């Protein structure tokens, strides 16, 4: 048996000097392998078993090993693991859409200070023992934890929603699991907002989106107060519309990923029933409410003016409602 070969095979061809020493090599053996180009330095004290361009997974292994605790051999002994977008990328595996560029993000305990090598970004965090999947290669933060880190680092609500959306859509986690992970982060920024979004997704409702429509689109732009949860009888049965301006119906589509064809079919059937009854239906999504509220208000105002409602007003300088007037 060749312990070094076994170790390289288990780590996608990447090994640290301390690991090589740990399986029986002497320092001069490592130097000889480097001279023979059987090992090529990637970072100080970290080597790869070829001279070509490393793959993303090999760069990820190298980043973890470069930040590992002194003497760390494997698993939790390494004291370092992929975090954030890098942990999510590792879980997605080969052939998945995602960027191969950018730095590898590695988490280490708060008690450690690590100088990150070029191409690696180090984050110091808490509770790694329970939040990392040490048995995976490379070790990485649990998917729901990594996705929350990405969402909480975003600067805008819509970008944070997008991070949550991609995480749930990946099927690596669920909204309920992310809520449970978020509950442990009592001081996280945007915590209450994201918790509301995730609970809406888990419950199949969109109250956060409804609140956003009221406070970002309707009220600031002087749109008339909508009748909410309006009960409407259609050929398909009784339905409740999220908002109604007379015969103009608004549906707030709070889904964060593509639904089945059957679910989408039911929505379009409701819209067709509304059209037959002479009622126009407008569907609004997260981006239209949280990312483009002024533009959405301007367009709704045009529709409502046709129905005889008063025009909207700008919410401030640079508002799209003023440009549309």
From 172, 54, 63, select the one nearest 108 (Cα to Cα).
63
Instruction: Among 174, 203, 232, identify where a domain stops.
Output: 203
Q: How many CB atoms lie within 10 A of CB 196?
A: 16
Distances from the Cα of 153 to the Cα of 17, 85, 169, 248, angstroms: 34, 11, 19, 38
Gap between the Cα atoms of 81 and 65, Å rounded: 9
Q: Which three-class secondary structure state does DSSP give residue 284?
A: strand
Higher-scoring residue by pLDDT: 198, 315: 315
Phi, psi of 205, deg, nearest 5: -110, 180
pLDDT at 149: 92
From 224, 208, 205, select the one nearest 160 (Cα to Cα).
208
pLDDT range class, residue 273, cuts 50, 70, 90: low
153 shares a domain with 234: no
Strand ranges across the sheet with 132-133: 120-125, 104-109, 81-82, 140-141, 132-133
Is 171 part of any domain? yes
Q: What is the pLDDT of residues 91-102, one digit of tens each?
A: 987 655 555 678
pLDDT surpassing 60 at residue 69: yes
320 shares a domain with 253: yes
From 109, 23, 9, select the one nearest 69 (Cα to Cα).
109
Is 278 part of any domain? yes
Gap between the Cα atoms of 318 and 316, Å rounded: 6
Is 246 part of any domain? yes
Is 163 part of any domain? yes
Is 151 part of any domain? yes
Confirm if 72 and 79 have CB atoms less than 8 A apart.
yes
Is 110 part of any domain? no
Q: What is the pLDDT of residues 10-38, one digit of tens each?
A: 999 999 999 999 999 999 999 999 999 99
216 shares a domain with 308: yes
305 shares a domain with 263: yes
Phi, psi of 237, deg, nearest 5: 120, -170
268 shares a domain with 198: no
160 shares a domain with 241: no
Is 157 part of any domain? yes
Domain span at 235? 209-324
User: What are the structure tokens assigned to 155, written together?
Assistant: 């600067």
Burial class (CB in 10 A: 0-12, 13-18, 19+), 113: exposed
Strand partners, 250: 243, 282
- Which range scores top for mean pLDDT: 10-19, 62-71, 89-98, 246-255? 10-19
218 shares a domain with 169: no
- Give me the chain's average pLDDT, please: 85
Model pTM score: 0.74
Number of structural domains found in the chain: 2
Instruction: Among 179, 203, 227, identify where a domain stops.
Output: 203
Out of 11-15, 160-164, 249-253, 271-275, pick the least confident: 271-275
CA atoms within 13 A on the CB side of 58: 20
pLDDT at 286: 87
Is 270 part of any domain? yes
pLDDT surpassing 70 at residue 232: no
Instruction: Among 161, 176, 203, identify where a domain stops.
Output: 203
């Amino acid at each position: 048996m060749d312990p070094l070969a076994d170790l390289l095979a288990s780590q996608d061809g990447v090994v640290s000097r301390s690991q090589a020493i740990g399986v029986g090599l002497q320092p001069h053996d490592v130097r000889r392998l480097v001279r023979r180009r059987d090992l090529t330095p990637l970072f100080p004290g970290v080597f790869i078993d070829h001279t070509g361009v490393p793959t993303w997974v090999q760069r990820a292994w190298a980043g973890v090993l470069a930040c590992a605790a002194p003497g760390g051999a494997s698993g939790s002994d390494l004291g370092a693991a992929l975090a954030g977008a890098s942990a999510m990328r590792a879980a997605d595996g080969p052939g998945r859409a995602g960027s191969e560029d950018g730095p590898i993000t590695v988490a280490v305990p708060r008690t450690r200070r690590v100088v990150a090598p070029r191409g690696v970004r180090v984050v110091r965090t808490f509770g790694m023992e329970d939040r990392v999947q040490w048995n995976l290669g490379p070790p990485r933060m649990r998917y729901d934890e990594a996705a929350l880190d990405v969402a909480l680092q975003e600067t805008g609500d819509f970008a944070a929603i997008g991070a949550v959306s991609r995480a749930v859509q990946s099927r690596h986690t669920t909204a309920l699991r992310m809520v449970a992970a978020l509950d442990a982060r009592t001081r996280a920024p945007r915590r209450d907002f994201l918790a509301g979004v995730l609970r809406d997704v888990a419950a199949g409702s969109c109250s956060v989106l409804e609140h956003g429509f009221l406070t970002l689109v309707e009220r600031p732009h002087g749109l008339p107060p909508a009748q909410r949860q309006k009960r409407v009888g259609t050929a398909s049965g009784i339905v409740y519309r999220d908002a109604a301006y007379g015969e103009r119906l608004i549906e707030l589509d709070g889904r964060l990923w593509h639904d089945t064809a059957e679910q989408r079919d039911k929505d379009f059937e409701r819209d067709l029933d509304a059209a037959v009854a002479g009622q126009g239906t407008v569907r609004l999504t997260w981006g239209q409410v949280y990312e483009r509220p002024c533009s959405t208000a301007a367009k709704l105002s045009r529709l409502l003016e046709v129905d005889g409602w008063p025009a909207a007003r700008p919410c401030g300088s640079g508002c799209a409602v003023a440009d549309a007037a």
